[in-house]
A and B are shown apart, each in its own frame.
Chain A
């Protein structure tokens, strides 16, 4: 029990810590964003969780194509669904944050475009899965699309922002102020928060696949 549960407890505790500490610590005074820099702990963690989930899905898709085990397909699709959940959370929180700092819900920012395209790609993945009836074929075709789309997304998110002229997000283009402003106290909250959410994402993934496995087991 404890051996299997420890990482789930750890995830919950880390996020709980980030909620308490993230709201109570002193943050550096920054122009424009002011106190909302605290959103970093919560909003950016959503993206971390999403990327880890999509990466997990990518790995399981490769594993599926190398062994054709249905368990791998279950994990791959489950990870995509979990990733989409965190992606939508990240998108929504990001839009609210953007409205109150940059003045618009949507700005033409490479980071935002990347997020939107990721969501499109993986929603398309779910549609693709829905449109194939035969189970083995569905697993195979969607694994191929998953690998194809993920590789192009990595390029999209890794290469394009570097070519961009400017970005409102830190560390890209002409704007590096926020990352420099990320002082030690903030790091002490941000990294645990991201790790905590990633662990919770894995937990949700596990719940999802276990439920699906049970349903299949009953039939």
Chain B
């Protein structure tokens, strides 16, 4: 537990010291949203807003998370391998990436609102879906990044391995967001959508915890 907290702290320190990485992602998010604004103008219908928002967030997630294992040089990986258990490594990475995704997501949401306006989304459904979605995307991509980092050409692999894995989650998120458009949502419907998203999150986290030790060792 303390090991995990220590590793999370290390991630934060690294991020702050190498500010170019996070700045790059922020700039990426800003540029894409700006391009969208230039292309579509302010008037887009609400379904397009939701689709664009999630697509941009998905690519931001790929950019942000893909470096989480790939940046670790093999010497450094060996060092972690000696001092930390695989469980705390993967948990710390997932927690850190989830937090990063939440910040990125909130930021994209803000930028989207500034540039494109905000559709009347029912917060009772959208907010938890957004929260669970960011966590799920970050965790799934953390795992994919760990897999891709063990192969030769990891940058290209990250994308092709990642898409099929995050697609179920992405489709659910878009569906939930679209449902949130209609204003009030029935409680049963809300529960059904959120529990489906939570189920995916849970499966991803469990699988990552179980499978990561096999990736970690040499």
Contacts and interface: CB of A to CB of B under 8 A. Distances in A.
A binds B: yes
Interface of A: 65, 113, 117-118, 120-121, 123-124, 127-128, 131-133, 137, 140-141, 143-145, 147-149, 151-153, 155-156, 159-160, 163
A155 B193 contact: no
Contact of B165 (A137, A143, A152): A152
Contacts of A147: 207, 211
16 contacts: A120-B160, A120-B163, A124-B161, A131-B157, A137-B150, A148-B143, A148-B147, A148-B211, A151-B207, A152-B140, A152-B164, A152-B165, A153-B164, A153-B168, A155-B168, A163-B196
Contacts of B203: 151-152, 155
Contacts of A117: 164, 167-168
Contacts of A124: 157, 160-161, 163-164
Nearest to B217: A140
Contacts of A163: 172, 175, 192-193, 196
Interface in B195-215: 196, 199-200, 203-204, 207-208, 211, 214-215
A141 B217 CA distance: 11
A70 to B, nearest CB: 15
Contacts of B196: 159-160, 163
Interface string B44-64: 000000000000000000000
Q: Mostly helix, strand, loop or mixed at chain B's interface?
A: helix
A140 B153 contact: no
Interface in B3-18: none
A151 B164 CA distance: 12
Q: Mostly helix, strand, loop or mixed at chain A's interface?
A: helix
B152 interface: yes
Closest 8 pairs between A and B when the two form their complex, measured CB to CB: A121-B164, A156-B168, A131-B151, A131-B152, A124-B160, A120-B164, A144-B211, A132-B151
A127 B150 contact: no
Contact of A121 (B147, B151, B165, B193): B165
Nearest to B192: A163
Contacts of A140: 214-215
A65 B214 contact: yes
A159 B204 CA distance: 15
B171 interface: yes
Interface in B160-204: 160-161, 163-165, 167-168, 171-172, 175, 192-193, 196, 199-200, 203-204
Given A128-B147, A149-B165, 14 more contacts: A113-B171, A124-B163, A127-B160, A128-B157, A132-B150, A144-B147, A144-B215, A145-B147, A148-B143, A148-B165, A152-B164, A159-B199, A163-B193, A163-B196
Contacts of B147: 128, 141, 144-145, 148
